[in-house]
Structure 1
């Protein structure tokens, strides 16, 4: 089965389980054609198909609750309940019990592709070793979060660099169109529950982003 047929079958299967936004699916298809790295990001369903045949021994390794669709752009920052700035994986919509090797190999593949495209300032010969080193260290430390500003000041400086300029960020957010359709009450409750204070004014905006879940 080629990727065109696989994509068609996946979207047909998905359309029977959730509402699809055809306009966004078209954007996704255009991005898939733009380069090999966005193609990887957009096609975890295809990875899931070919992974067991391509890496049969690794696919049989012990299973864990894997991220699944892991790649270098699935990392980011957020504030924990104590207000600390945390760095780590921030996209879990494809999480599923899989071989622990799935996440490691997919992350390595994405890093190689991103480096080839000039999006990641790493030498390809160092990528796999760096990922393995970080993975082993994470296991030894019990999976502790990366708390920026405590033991990872260098990472905080990257996260708060001019590329993460809050002025530019909020300018982009303010330019987004306001949501005009009805928003589920459960979504409103979830948003207001996460607010730092009650009775804060806010605006719900529509944003098209990402690739893996774009269109659904």
Structure 2
């Protein structure tokens, strides 16, 4: 990694204060500006020795399911934004070359605008929060924010927004983060910890914007529709869409190559039994990692499983959906067991403190989210050839709702950018030092403008990498399968 000013000026920065010393924490946060001025975050210039982006993608493909890698590339081909979604490793390598604040939080690691959304809490409230933690890892708070703000610039270009509209998006996300972090720093300890955003607050906010003529009727209706649809995306709806009755037995419906039942993934009868036995073992043993002692999982029994392709960046990793039933066939539950690999951030930061990457994902999610799925846990298993793989398990569908960047309009995107910025700040305030970060950010727009400027330069980098990616597919270096 290239040394930065923050590495060389540490002697002028006071020692990290005690957590109970609020004034000392504020002074420490302000002092971090000495080595890493807020304006230093504006810079992105392509290093002469930058790693080949295609080589990094090829490296990631080596340990993934071979027949699924072309699907991943096909999904990344759709636009510079979908490419960006699959290019977390590329950006992690680039962020490692940028100035660092020295203020560490639990990073999401892939905080782009499509990794936020609605989900149901155990208390049966519909919350808005970050919803993807595959790359979570401790690191400089600004890495997540740079990835988030750049995603709005890239998506805005894809949607044909004007320069001014995209600038407003970038500044809204950065300002939302800074102002929410300052509010957290000035709140009582427990108020800052319990702070969250639920669907009712989002709806109320949009209606207030409408009353102030900053939103229109279509935006209010769109938010209401997203919330209403999220409440219908539950386990019963998943059951009705994904399950059929085959001669009296419930089976997950095949939709190859996106959903492939276990008996079609491994066709040998002995292998099928072993694979299902392994999954039963995961479900039995991973209970020890759940937060609830007498967990409802004990009342469910295994029925069937299938491999499922998910997302963009995750395509090619091993992911299973598992059908279980409780009292009877009308009481189904779908779990997802997803392979966890080393975070793309790890090679550029400190190694994970956890031996299991499943545990890394779960503990990172619990640190960052306001409320977490009660089925979230982890397990390491030994598979073919004695290879150990880490998995984390969660509920597949539980009131899911998301914002579709393909249909976003400038005003709606502006509201969404601020909400995402604030949500990221809440997550960082729980896992990092909100007082230090707020003091570093300050009350002026200097930091917002620096992150905005970086995002424009990095969107240019993403455009160049996307062009190289398309050329690699055209030349046959990479294989892609489109439309899936």
Alignment check: 8 A CA contact 1:6 1:46 kept: yes
Separation in 2 of the partners of 1:11 and 1:35?
20
TM-score after normalising by structure 1: 0.76
Alignment check: 8 A CA contact 2:199 2:227 kept: no
> 1:126 is matched with which residue: 168, 187, 196?
168
Q: SS of the counterpart of 1:152? A: helix
> 1:138 is matched with which residue: 180, 183, 186?
180
Aligned runs of 1:39-54 on 2, under 5 Å? 39-53=83-97
Aligned runs of 1:37-186 on 2, under 5 Å? 37-53=81-97, 56-57=98-99, 59-118=100-159, 123-139=165-181, 140-141=183-184, 142=192, 144-149=195-200, 151-154=201-204, 157-161=224-228, 166=233, 170=238, 173-174=242-243, 176-177=253-254, 178-180=261-263, 181=272, 182-183=275-276, 184-186=279-281
The worse-fitting range, judged by mean Cα deviation, of 86-95 and 21-30 is 21-30
Q: SS of the counterpart of 1:8? A: helix
Consecutive unaligned residues of structure 1, counting only runs of 5 or more, are none
- Larger proportion of strand: 2
Separation in 2 of the partners of 1:101 and 1:158?
33
Q: SS of the counterpart of 2:142? A: helix
For residues 82-125 of structure 1, the C-alpha deviation after alignment (integer angstroms, 9 at most, x for no partner) is 111111101001001121111111011111111222299x9312
Confirm whether residue 208 of structure 1 aligns to residue 252 of structure 2.
Answer: no
Alignment check: 8 A CA contact 2:309 2:316 kept: no
Separation in 1 of the partners of 2:160 and 2:115?
14
Alignment check: 8 A CA contact 1:176 1:207 kept: no
- Structure scoring higher RCO (CA < 8 A, sep ≥ 6) equals 2
Separation in 1 of the partners of 2:174 and 2:314?
28
Flag the 1:147–1:24 CA change in 2: closer, same or farther, 3 A: same
Flag the 1:11–1:162 CA change in 2: closer, same or farther, 3 A: closer
Flag the 1:88–1:163 CA change in 2: closer, same or farther, 3 A: closer
For residues 124-147 of structure 1, the C-alpha deviation after alignment (integer angstroms, 9 at most, x for no partner) is 121122112321343224262212
Q: SS of the counterpart of 1:39? A: helix
The worse-fitting range, judged by mean Cα deviation, of 63-72 and 127-136 is 127-136
Q: SS of the counterpart of 1:73? A: helix
TM-score after normalising by structure 2: 0.37
Flag the 1:119–1:77 CA change in 2: closer, same or farther, 3 A: farther
Larger radius of gyration between Structure 1 and Structure 2 = 2
Alignment check: 8 A CA contact 1:75 1:89 kept: yes
Consecutive unaligned residues of structure 2, counting only runs of 5 or more, are 1-50, 185-191, 207-222, 244-251, 255-260, 264-271, 318-484
How far is 1:196 from its partner?
8.8
Q: SS of the counterpart of 1:86? A: strand
Root-mean-square deviation (CA, aligned residues, Å) is 3.4
Separation in 2 of the partners of 1:25 and 1:119?
30
Q: Give the total of aligned pairs.
A: 204
